[in-house]
Structure 1
Amino acid sequence: GHYKASKDVLSLYYQYHPDSVLLTGKGLVIGGSHNINPMNAEAQYGDLSAVLLQNSPFWGHWLRTPDLSIALMDEWESKIEKLAESTIKENVTSISGVPTWTLVLFKRILEITGKQTMSEVWPSLELYMHGGVSFTPYKEQFQKLIGKEINYLEMYNASEGFFAAQDIPGSEGMLLFTDHGIFMEFMPVSEYGKKEPQTVSLQDVELGKNYALIISTNGGLWRYLVGDTIQFVSLKPYRIKVSGRLKHYINAFGEEVIVDNTDKAIAIASNITGAVVNDYTAAPVYFSESANGAHEWLIEFEKEPGSLEIFTKELDAALKSINSDYEAKRHKSIALGLPVVHAMKKGAFTEWLRSKGKLGGQHKVPRLSNDRTMIDEILKMNLSTFTTQ
């Protein structure tokens, strides 16, 4: 299914870019590691991207960089160095990978070459394929580091299946792949946690409603809950967007904030204040005897705003405009106070991932959490530089 969907993505791209030179160069794939299970010499496990790389057809290796031995490395700091050194002289026309690690690679390549932009290193670069996290907070950095206009294509490609991809450049939503060996059901998020949750079939879905995706596949999964939440943005044809994760939300006070809300709010606040955000996470601050609740944000800036206080107010205003439940809880600060925002040291989230043994690959910092476990762990590492109160 993943290979079929990959061919479909390529076909969709050429439909709108018939003069593309994509296949005259190589695709840089920033995939995961690949380990051998010591319990069974015949069983292998690792990030799906790495499994796919190792089992791709022979002709696929002609169109891809880096060498398989580098692509499947485990240790990510060494891997980034090897990736940079081995791909600088290649004619890279496309890149696919998680935005955070792609940015790390870009910056290292620019350090090595002394160039100002990636278009000077790879003049034929024309396409970046992304997925896994919202690209909204990263797009400005990509445009700056690449130094020219290129095409961006969003995909919904998970370990369990390749579900959708953007079929029209620049449009919202990804075309749902309905004939790739996956039977899909859609569970309204309000059903999550119930003893007998109800699902709807594709013909009964509604626009703009949050659903959890449930799949049965020819790979052996049966009514498997993927864990992502999606919204339909079109019904003819069926197009979706990923709105968040079932477990990644804040609803400590009835505000029902999801990742789609916070990604948009971060983008709005950044645009107004001139900030550039690398990564972020947020969690609730619970009621105390002396104060109401709030949301606490840890934000790693590539470019800090001139005033963190102004950024915080704009972030708050954006969330109010996006989420009416949040706005209601913020009214006169009766339930929720102004957010508490920490500007984190560069590399703060990388340090936390390293401490958890999750550095690299498809590992990402959860955007939102409904408890304080993770945020308190990060705060204890003393990686903030400035905090609003």
Structure 2
Amino acid sequence: MSLKTIAAKVFANIIYNKTQNWVQNPIETQQKVFEKLIREAKNTHFGIDHNFNQISTFDDFANAVPVRDYEAIKPYVDRVVKGEANVLWKGKPLYFAKTSGTTSGAKYIPLTADSMPFHIEAARNAILHYIHETGKADFVNGKMIFLQGSPILEEKNGIHLGRLSGIVAHFVPKYLQKNRMPTWETNCIEDWETKVNAIVEETFNENMTVISGIPSWVQMYFEKLQEKGLKPVGEIFKNFNLFIYGGVNYEPYRAKFENLIGRKVDSIELFPASEGFFAYQDSQKEKGMLLLLNSGIFYEFIKVEEFSSQNPKRYTIGEVEMGINYVLIISTNAGLWAYNIGDTVQFTCLKPYRVIVSGRIKHFISAFGEHVIGKEVESALQEAIIGTSIRINEFTVAPQITPNAGLPYHEWFIEFENEPENLTAFEESINTAMRKQNVYYDDLIVGKVLRRLVISKVVKNGFQDYMKSIGKLGGQNKIPRLSNDRTIVDLLAIEQINE
């Protein structure tokens, strides 16, 4: 056992015990976070506008600060972007994480000196919890890669900005820099396909032990490795045994990944976003990710079915229940207040508080009142492929409201790696699983409002071609699992016709 391995195990035990201090006192921990946030921001422009000096309880806060999305908080953000200090948080941000906006163009999410360390510590602690639980630490002696955006940063009024993954690349601990792949020069390549090809060349003969990234883009890396080596990734990288991912559910990709790798590997799920690092998988045995209650983020939760009402109830951590779909609302030490990040979560455990990401509040299908969410379509697909040889590269779902004939239906656009022998039977399997997942969908089928779902096959690399066509190939970009309109799938269909 190397000194590095021994040190990793000792450090893992220290961090695990430190984490348990707040895990065992979740409500008290969140109250302390809340009080500190209000105290630190009471003299900011936002704090003055919302009477933070008069806020002493959560009810005071909920009455003074409405839930906002980016569009609603944008007037404050614009002032920060122009260089004004003490607007949303004390001083100025260290960075802006630049992301794509829905209606306002680019979004600038502030990252402050107070918030940035938690992004780094959370990713580190996820690995350390894995070491503590499993005792596996030899991977620290090998090479590690995180498929991420370019670390080249722009500057706007004295504040650097870029993709979150590119910003984080500037904070790799010194003790990991010798293990880190790819090289800085390769990481700076903007074109995703060119970058992946370069990463393949750089890593092919290395002792890769940890690989991380969004599954859909890691899959592209694995496919190119397999093409070059003419053998499974697990034979190319014999010591590769840990896959770290976030951004999308891994389950739809698992069968394909195990085929590409040639064996099973352990995995760790992360829940990071530009707005904060919210949770990570702290156990290989338990379902869900540990919600980080001591990371400068105060959480609120609104039931999805109540979210659009005039004055929905805002729940704190001590009031949540398991199995309910909540919209996640955050207030942070980066200056986001009662902010709707757009994700929905469900609690899988309350001691400690663990969550799964169930979808996006804007990514759903309810064209007929069915309220289908991302978790349901992913679970239904996973149930349908269990015990089969079917492997899927990517998929998305949309309603077909005006078919040429017959009743409306949900249309599943699937790019198969290994197709079912009987597509009709596979459709029926998914449909049956969906009816079990969602009672509203079942009622619509029984009531003959909808007919059984229909699968449309997407050509090889069809989703990659679509993402490339809209300038979102690679990095942190991902295909929505479902949409309430046909904007995405109509473009997929056009690409198929053109071919």
Query: Which bracket does the TM-score occupy, shorter chain normalised?
Result: over 0.9
Matched, 1:27 2:141: no
Which residue of the partner structure matches residue 245 of structure 1? 360
CA contact (8 A) 2:243 2:268 kept: yes
Q: Is 1:360 equivalent to 2:474 in the alignment?
A: yes
The aligned counterpart of 1:284 is 399
Percent sequence identity is 37
CA–CA distance in structure 1, aligned partners of residues 290 and 498 of structure 2 = 40
Gaps of 5+ in 1: none
**Residue 130 of structure 2, aligned match among 8, 13, 16:** 13
Superposition pairs for residues 323-342 of structure 1, below 5 Å?
A: 323-331=438-446, 334-342=448-456
Task: Tell me, yes or no, if the aligned pair for 1:4 and 1:180 is still in contact at 8 Å.
Answer: no
Distance 1:38 1:122 in 2: 39
What residue is the counterpart of 1:372 in the other structure? 486
Q: Tell me, yes or no, if structure 1 residue 167 matches structure 2 residue 282.
A: yes
Deviation, structure 1 residue 196: 3.3
Indicate yes or no: 2:253 matched with 1:138: yes
| TM-score using structure 1 length | 0.93
- The separation in 1 between residues aligned to 2:202 and 2:335, in whole angstroms, is 38
Q: Is contact 1:344-1:384 (8 Å) kept?
A: no
> Where in structure 2 are there 5+ consecutive unaligned residues?
1-117
Query: 1:195 Cα shift?
Result: 4.1
- Partners in 1 of 2:172 and 2:394 — Cα distance? 32
Structure 1 or 2: larger helix share?
2
Bigger proportion of residues as strand: 1
Distance (Å, rounded) in 2 between the aligned partners of 1:290 and 1:382: 22
Could you tell me how far 1:38 is from its partner in structure 2?
A: 6.9
Q: Deviations over 1:103-150 (max 9, x none)?
A: 111111122123x21121111111101111111111111112212332
Superposed CA deviations along residues 60-96 of structure 1, whole A, max 9, x for unmatched, are 3223111122123210010010110011122111111
- Alpha carbons 2:151, 2:165 under 8 Å: kept: no
Structure-2 residue corresponding to 1:84: 200
What is the CA distance between 1:171 and its match in structure 2?
2.4
Distance 1:273 1:177, change over 3 A: same
Q: Give the Cα separation in 1 of the matches to 2:186 and 2:496.
A: 34
Find out whether 1:212 has 2:327 as its counterpart.
yes
Q: Give the ranges of 4+ consecutive aligned residues of structure 1 lying more than 4 Å apart after TM superposition.
A: 287-290
Please state how far the C-alpha of 1:97 moved relative to its aligned partner. 0.3
**Contact 1:273 1:310 (8 Å CA) reproduced:** no
Q: Is the 8 A contact 2:213 2:245 kept in 1?
A: yes
The 8 Å contact of residues 345 and 384 in structure 1, kept in 2 or not, is answered as no
Contact 1:255 1:325 in 2 (8 A): yes
Q: SS where residue 252 of structure 2 aligns?
A: coil
- What's the offset of the Cα at 1:273? 4.8
Cα distance, 1:383–1:345 mapped onto 2, change above 3 Å: farther
Q: Which residue of 2 aligns with 1:111?
A: 227
TM-score of the pair, normalised by structure 2: 0.73
Deviations 1:203-236 (A, max 9, x none): 0001100011111111222221111100001111
CA distance in 1, matches of 2:240, 2:498: 36
> Is the CA contact (8 Å cut-off) linking 2:189 and 2:195 kept in structure 1?
yes
The 1-side partners of 2:121 and 2:418 are apart by 40
For the structure 1 residues 255 and 39, does the alpha-carbon distance in structure 2 shift closer, same or farther, using more than 3 Å as the test? same
| Preserved CA contact (<8 Å) 1:273 1:306 | no
**Alignment length (residue pairs):** 382
Residue in 2 aligned with 1:54?
170
Find the aligned partners of 2:123 and 2:402 in 1 and give their Cα distance.
48
Shift of 1:35: 4.6
Closer/same/farther in 2, CA of residues 168 and 39 from structure 1, 3 Å limit: closer
Report whether the alignment pairs 1:98 with 2:214. Answer: yes
Instruction: State how far apart, in whole Å, the 1-side matches of 2:238 and 2:410 are.
Output: 43
Compared CA separation, residues 34 and 193, structure 1 to 2 (3 A): farther
The CA RMSD over aligned residues, in Å, is 1.9
